[in-house]
C-alpha cells in the first residue's frame, strides 16, 4: 500500500512543470507526460488500486476534467461505477450545483441528482489530479453529500502543500505526491 521512494520518483519525474501557464507566476503541473508514460501511469494506478481495494467503495467520483482520467481508470480496476463532477452546464439530466470562489469571481460544479442511485449512504472516493487552494474539491465533496452519498476520502495525485488547501475539506485527504 505504501509507495516506495523509487515508485514515487517514477511518477514525479513523469510530470512536467510548465512555468507561467496559464498566467505569470503559476507553475502548471502537466500530467499529459505522466499519461503518455506507461510505466509511470501503471505505477500510479497500481498504487491507487492497492490502496483502495480494501475501502469497500461503491463509486469513484472524478472532478472535471483531469480527475476523469484517473477516476475512471481506478473505478474500472476496482469493478465499481464512475461518476463525473462537471463544470456548470455540461450534464444533461437534473443536477445539483455548488458555487466556489476563484481569485476573481466564482465557478460552479454540478452532479446528476441520481448519480449514486436511489439508496443513500453510498461510499464514494473523490479524485482529482491536483489540490491548490482546495476550493474545487471542497465544492465537489459537498455535492456528494448533497445527493445523499458519503465522501469517505478525497484523493489527489499532487498536493501543493504551501497553499494549505486541505484545511477546508472535511473528509480525509490522501495525496500521492506532496509538493512543498
Ligand atoms: P483549487 O480549487 O485551487 O484547489 O484548484 C484545483 C484545480 O485547478 C484542479 O482541478 C487542478 O487541475 C487545477 N490546478 C490548479 N493549480 C494547478 C497547477 N499549478 N497545475 C495544474 N493544475 C492546477
- How would you write 130-166 as a 3-class SS string? EECCCHHHHHHHHHHHHCCCEEEEEEEEEEEHHHCHH
What is the rounded average pLDDT of the residues 37-61? 98
* C-alpha R_g of the chain: 16
| SS3 label, residue 57 | coil
Pocket test for ligand 1, best of 21, 104, 126, 130 (most atoms within 8 A of CB): 130
- Catalytic annotation present for 66: yes
Look at 10-14, 102-106, 118-122, 165-169 and tell me which has the smallest mean pLDDT: 102-106
Statement: the pTM of the whole predicted model exceeds 0.95: yes
pLDDT tens-place string over residues 93-150:
999 999 999 878 899 999 999 999 999 999 999 999 999 999 999 999 999 999 999 9
What the block records as the C-alpha cell of 152 is 469517505
Per-residue confidence (pLDDT) for residue 48, from 0 to 100? 98
153 catalytic residue (yes or no): no
**What pLDDT does 111 receive?**
98
Measured between alpha carbons, how far is residue 9 from residues 6, 44, 96, 159, 176 in Å?
5, 11, 39, 15, 11
Domains, the chain, with CATH or none: 56-179 (3.40.50.2020)
Centroid of ligand 1 to alpha carbon of 171 (angstroms) = 19
pLDDT of residue 119: 93
In the reported structure, the alpha carbon of residue 82 is separated from the centroid of ligand 1 by a whole-number distance in angstroms of: 21
Amino acid at each position: 500500500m505504501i509507495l516506495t521512494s523509487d515508485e514515487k520518483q517514477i511518477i514525479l519525474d513523469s510530470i512536467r512543470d510548465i512555468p507561467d501557464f496559464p498566467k505569470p507566476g503559476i507553475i502548471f503541473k502537466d500530467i499529459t507526460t505522466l499519461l503518455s508514460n506507461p510505466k509511470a501511469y501503471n505505477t500510479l494506478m497500481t498504487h491507487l488500486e492497492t490502496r483502495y481495494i480494501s475501502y469497500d467503495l461503491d463509486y469513484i467520483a472524478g472532478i472535471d476534467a483531469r480527475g476523469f482520467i484517473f477516476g475512471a481508470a481506478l473505478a474500472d480496476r476496482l469493478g465499481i461505477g464512475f461518476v463525473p463532477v462537471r463544470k456548470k452546464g455540461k450534464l444533461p439530466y437534473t443536477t445539483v450545483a455548488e458555487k466556489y470562489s476563484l481569485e476573481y469571481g466564482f465557478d460552479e460544479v454540478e452532479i446528476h441528482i441520481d448519480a449514486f442511485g436511489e439508496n443513500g449512504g453510498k461510499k464514494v472516493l473523490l479524485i482529482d489530479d491536483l489540490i491548490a487552494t482546495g476550493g474545487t474539491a471542497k465544492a465537489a465533496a459537498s455535492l456528494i453529500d448533497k445527493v445523499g452519498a458519503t465522501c469517505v476520502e478525497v484523493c489527489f495525485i499532487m498536493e501543493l502543500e504551501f497553499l494549505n488547501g486541505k484545511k477546508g475539506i472535511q473528509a480525509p485527504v490522501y495525496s500521492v505526491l506532496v509538493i512543498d
